[in-house]
Each structure stands twice: as C-alpha cells, then as structure tokens.
A and B are shown apart, each in its own frame.
Chain A
Amino acid sequence: MLKTSYGMAAVALAGCLTAAAQAQVITTKQLSLPTAVTIATTAVETCKAQGYRVSVHVIGNMGEVLVAMRGDDTGPHTMENSMRKALTSRATRLPSGQFADNVAKTPSAAGLRLGNMIPARGGLPIEVGEDVIAAVGVSGSPGGDKDEACAQAGIDKVADQLN
C-alpha cells in the first residue's frame, strides 16, 4: 500500500516535471552596489544626526554581504549584530523586530537555533514588490526601534530604485 502510494506520487511528480515548459533559468533581482552603498550610508548618517553611533550591513539575496560599514567609535559588537539582524530579516522576510516578537513566547523556536539568527530589532527586509531581495541591519543605537528607523531611512532613500 505504502509502496503503491510512493509509486503513484513518483508518477505524478514526473508528470509535473515534464509538464514544466522547459528547464528554464530563474530571473531574480539583485541590489546593485551603488544602491546598497546608498542604503548603508544613509542609515549611518541618519543615526549619526541623532547622536547614535551605529554599524550597518546590507546583505543580498543569499545572505552574502554587499556592504559592511563600521561607524566611528561604535561598540565592537555592532558589526556582528548588524549583520545578524540583516540576515534574520532576509531569512524570515520580516523585520527582525517582528521575528523577535514572534519568538518571544516560544524560546524553543527552531529559528533561534539557526546560524546567525538573532531576535533583535533593527533589521529590515528590502523588497521589490512582494519579493525580498536583500536586507539591511543596523546596530548601535540605544534601542532597536531607533536602529530600525535608520534602516528604514536607508531603504526610503532608494525607494524609487526598488522596482
């Protein structure tokens, strides 16, 4: 019985595969370096204008670092933290603060066991329409809400390029 259902599933799967028009390549969008630099620089400057010393990471679709900036006189942990906030946003496709809220009541959440995930506010996904193509993370302000505001300022700055 089990073997039969596997067999039927295999047939159905094969049908799906062959039904696909061709083995087509996937077209995805990617942040350009100038856009990523603008996001990071804007986030740093926005926080600096408010008296907050922050570091910023902008990461791409696969979590690769596109831009890393260590703010002047920031705490040494801010580079790692900004990277992890960004990665958390990219992975969950959510603001890292939203992820933090989601797991607050479930300390056993599997997401917390993955490498570099961190339940801390200050990271935002970068979206084109419904697709998350990158993320930005900020660390160093006295409060994740303030980090997040600077991350948002960075994204807002390039909003017209995200299409």
Chain B
Amino acid sequence: MSRVFLGITGISLMATMVGATSAGAQVLDHKDISLAMATTIALTAIEACKASGYNVSVHVLGRNGETIVALRNEKAGTNTFELSMKKAYTARTYRQPSGKFADNVGQNPVAPQLMLTNIVAARGALPIMIGEQTIGAVGVSGAPGGDKDEACAQAGIDKVAADLK
C-alpha cells in the first residue's frame, strides 16, 4: 500500500519534472538586497539605537547568508560584531525573527539547530522580506536586551520598506 502510494507520488513528481524540463531549463529570477539598501538599513539601525543611548554593531546579510554590510561600533562590546552576524544568519536561515527562533528552541537544550554553525538563540535580528519571500536579514547586538536590539533592526527595515517590492 505504502509502496504503491510512493510509486504514484514518484510518477506524479516525474511528470512535474518532465513538465518543467519541457518548458526549458529556466534560470531563477529573484530580487536581492543592494549595497545601498543594506547600508541604509545598517546605518538606520545604528542611529536608532544610538538615539536610545545604545551602542550596537550591525550585520546585513543577503539571500545566501553572505555579508553585504558589517559595521562594528567602536563603542560597543567586542562580542557584538560576531553576535549581530549570528543573529542575522539565524533570522535568514529560519525565515523568522531570531527571537522567535529562540522562543521555539529555547525549551529544548539539545535542539539540533543550535549545533549548526552560526545559529544562535538570541533576539535582535529580523528577516528582510519581499512579501512572503525572505531575501536577507539584519542583526543587531549591543543594546541591553534583545527586544531593544530588535526594535533597532525593525527601524532599519522600516526605513527601506517602500523599496522592498
């Protein structure tokens, strides 16, 4: 029964693939964050936190988790540079705020996700999205509390909201 079902699934999958092949091996067309946009997001996040009296470092990562902009605030703690990157990487990978990821895995000390490189259960990063699609992430570290880091990340995204389309 199970095998029959798998067989049917396999046939329909092949049909789908054949269909795609006959339509041509097309390239993927997607949108990415420009350096100008990433710089605006990062500087806005830094300024937003500074206005609240917090010195933070910021990373803006692209679709593949690559760094587009990294800013080390000389008045922020040494760890903030690394942590802002890891938060952003987490938000990009799981397509959700890193704080939400932290809530989800925080109850499970052996969550395998936490054993992956650059994944961290800490609030302060947000995915950068066009509609439902995650095209990158911004991570902030240095404020006294992940909620405050996240607010600055949100300020950065809000600044370019009109261009995220």
Contacts and interface: CB of A to CB of B under 8 A. Distances in A.
Interface of A: 30-33, 37, 41, 44, 60, 64-72, 76, 79
A71 B69 CA distance: 9
B35 A72 contact: yes
Contacts of B39: 37, 41, 69
A76 B66 CA distance: 9
Contacts of A41: 39
A41 B68 CA distance: 13
6 contacts: A33-B71, A33-B73, A37-B71, A64-B81, A68-B70, A70-B66
Contact of B70 (A32, A67, A71): A67
Contact of A33 (B36, B68, B72): B72
Interface of B: 34-36, 39, 43, 46, 62, 66-74, 81
Contacts, number: 47
Which of B39, B66, B72 has the most C-beta atoms of chain A within 10 angstroms of its own C-beta? B72
A44 B72 contact: no
Given A37-B43, A65-B81, A79-B67, A71 B72 contact: no
B68 A70 contact: yes
A139 to B, nearest CB: 14
B35 A66 contact: no
Contact of A70 (B46, B67, B71, B74): B67
A32 B66 CA distance: 25
A60 B78 CA distance: 13
Contacts of A31: 74
A33 B74 contact: yes
Contacts of A68: 67, 69-70
Which of B46, B67, B71, B81 has the most C-beta atoms of chain A within 10 angstroms of its own C-beta? B71
A81 to B, nearest CB: 14
A31 B36 CA distance: 22
B72 A66 contact: yes
Given A33-B46, A37-B43, A70-B35, A64 B72 contact: yes
Given A37-B43, A70-B35, A72-B35, A65 B66 contact: no
Nearest to B34: A72
A67 B74 contact: no
A51 to B, nearest CB: 16
A130 B125 CA distance: 41
Contacts of A44: 35
A44 to B, nearest CB: 7
Contacts of B62: 70
Given A66-B74, A70-B66, 19 more contacts: A33-B72, A33-B74, A37-B39, A37-B43, A44-B35, A65-B72, A66-B71, A66-B72, A67-B70, A67-B71, A67-B72, A68-B70, A69-B35, A69-B69, A70-B62, A71-B35, A72-B35, A76-B66, A79-B67
Task: Please name the 10 residue pairs, one residue from A and one from B, whose CB atoms are nearest each other, closest first.
Answer: A68-B70, A70-B68, A66-B72, A72-B35, A72-B34, A33-B73, A69-B69, A71-B35, A67-B71, A68-B67
